[in-house]
């Protein structure tokens, strides 16, 4: 009887674990593109990512919709978001800018926390992407 009990617990834990979690990125304003970008923090344009609560804007070909905002959340945790305003249709003003630990959408002046991707009173969070540490100075951002 104990074996069956342990087996059921183990089976339940096994089914509930997900190694590759991703936030829900269903947003009617933003298309879903597949891409992969490698960032080396040894390069000057990304060196600020070595410090907690710092962010960089990555505007390279194929990096998201309007580029990426990559953020060092501390303790070795990096977050990556699309730089497109999540609550606006794509327009000339819909590329967010970094404002400290926030990202600001110039279309409606909404500020999104880079820790959570959320803005007060807004329906959609920032479009999050997967981040993988390849080694101590290299980050892979992909969708």
For residue range 20-52, list pLDDT tens digits in order.
444 456 899 999 989 999 999 999 999 999 999
pLDDT score for 26: 82
Q: Are 127 and 65 in contact (CB under 8 A)?
A: yes
Instruction: Examine residue 71 and state whether it is found in any structural domain, yes or no.
Output: yes
> Residue 99: is its pLDDT beyond 80?
yes
CA angle (51 as vertex; 45, 53 as ends), nearest 5: 105
Task: State what percent of residues in the chain have pLDDT above 90.
Answer: 78
What is the residue range of 78's domain?
29-142
Instruction: Examine residue 122 and state whether it is found in any structural domain, yes or no.
Output: yes
> Residue 15: is its pLDDT beyond 80?
no
CA R_g for the chain = 18
Instruction: Examine residue 99 and state whether it is found in any structural domain, yes or no.
Output: yes
pLDDT band at residue 95, thresholds of 50, 70 and 90?
Answer: very high
Instruction: Examine residue 115 and state whether it is found in any structural domain, yes or no.
Output: yes
Q: How many domains does the chain have?
A: 1
Least confident of 26-35, 70-79, 115-124: 26-35
pTM for this structure? 0.82
Instruction: Examine residue 7 and state whether it is found in any structural domain, yes or no.
Output: no
Instruction: Examine residue 6 and state whether it is found in any structural domain, yes or no.
Output: no
Instruction: Examine residue 3 and state whether it is found in any structural domain, yes or no.
Output: no
CATH of the domain at 95: 2.102.10.10
Handedness of CA 43, 45, 76, 85 (dihedral sign): negative
> Residue 17: is its pLDDT beyond 60?
no
pLDDT band at residue 61, thresholds of 50, 70 and 90?
Answer: confident
Instruction: Examine residue 18 and state whether it is found in any structural domain, yes or no.
Output: no
H or E stretch covering 118: none
> Residue 11: is its pLDDT beyond 60?
no
Mean pLDDT, the chain, as a whole number? 88
């Amino acid at each position: 009887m104990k074996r069956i009990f342990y087996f059921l617990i183990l089976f339940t834990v096994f089914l509930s674990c997900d190694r590759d979690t991703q936030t829900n990125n269903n947003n009617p304003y933003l298309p879903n593109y597949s891409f992969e970008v490698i960032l080396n923090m040894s390069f000057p344009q990304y060196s600020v990512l070595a410090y907690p609560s710092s962010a960089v804007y990555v505007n390279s070909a194929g990096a998201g919709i309007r580029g990426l905002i990559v953020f060092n959340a501390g303790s070795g945790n990096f977050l990556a978001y699309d730089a497109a305003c999540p609550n606006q249709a794509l327009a000339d003003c819909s590329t967010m800018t970094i404002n400290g630990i926030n990202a600001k959408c110039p279309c409606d002046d909404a500020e999104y926390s880079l820790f959570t991707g959320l803005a007060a009173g807004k329906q959609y969070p920032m479009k999050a992407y997967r981040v993988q540490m390849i080694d101590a100075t290299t980050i892979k951002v992909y969708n």
